[in-house]
Amino acid sequence: MALTIRPAQPGDSAAIAAIYAVHVLTGTATFDTVPRTPAEITTRIAECRSRGWPFLVAEDAGQPVGYAYATQLRDRPAYAATCEDSIYVAADRTGQGIGSRLLAALCGAAEEAGFRQMIAVIGGGEPASVALHGRLGFRHVGRLHAVGHKFGRWLDTVYMQRALGEGNPLPPGPA
C-alpha cells in the first residue's frame, strides 16, 4: 500500500460522499441518517479551506480510501483554539493503519492551523474509533448517555480530548 495523505480537493467529493454513506447507512459512528451529497461535501471542503482548517484525504493508488477534517468545536470566539475531528475510512479498508496515519496527520495540520485542543465526539461509543483515538493520545473525558437514536436503539456519545503541541500553555494562533 502506497498511502498518500494530502489536502482534499473538490474532485474528491464523490469518493468522500461514498465513504461516508456506508457509515451513515450501516453504522453508528455518525448520527446522520441521510448521506451527504457530493455537493454538500464540496461545500464542507470549501468552508474548511476558507477558514484555514485542515481537510485531508488518504489516497491509495489514486483512490481516496479515507478522509479526516477538523472544524472549530463551537461557533463562539472563545472556542477558536479548540477543534472537533471527523475521520472516516472506507469500510473495506479498516484495520490497515489508514485511520492512524490519517488522524496523526490531522492532528499535526490542526496544530499548524492554530488549534490547541482536539475533541473527538464519537457517536455510539464505537469501540474502533475509541481505540484509534486512544492510540493517538486522546483521553476519555466524558460520555453522554442515550443522546442519539438510530437503528431502533438509543446510543451514547463518547468524548475524548487531546492537546495539540503544547496545548493550552501556548496562546491561540498558527504554530
Domain count, the chain: 1
Q: Which residues in 104-131 are b (16+ Cβ under 10 Å) and which e?
A: ebbbbbbbebbbbbbbbbbbbbbeebbe
Which domain range does residue 65 map to? 3-163
- Domain assignment of residue 17, yes or no: yes
Q: What percent of the chain has pLDDT over 90?
A: 92
Q: Which pLDDT value is given to residue 167?
A: 78
pLDDT at residue 16 in the model: 98
Q: Does 92 reside within a domain?
A: yes
CA dihedral 18, 20, 26, 28 (to 10 degrees): 180
168 domain residue, yes or no: no
Q: Would the CA dihedral through 52, 58, 61, 64 be positive or negative? A: negative
Select from 117, 116, 161 the least CA-distant residue to 136.
161
pLDDT at residue 168, as a whole number:
76
Q: What is the pLDDT of residues 79-119, one digit of tens each?
A: 999 999 999 999 999 999 999 999 999 999 999 999 999 99
- 54 φ, ψ to 5°? -80, 140
The whole-number average pLDDT for the span 17-29 is: 96
The reply to whether 121 falls in a domain is yes
- pTM over cut 0.85: yes
Domain assignment present for 172: no
- 48 lies in a domain? yes
Give yes or no for residue 174 having a pLDDT over 70: no
Residue 81 within a domain: yes
CATH number for the domain spanning 114: value is: 3.40.630.30
In a domain, 174, yes or no: no
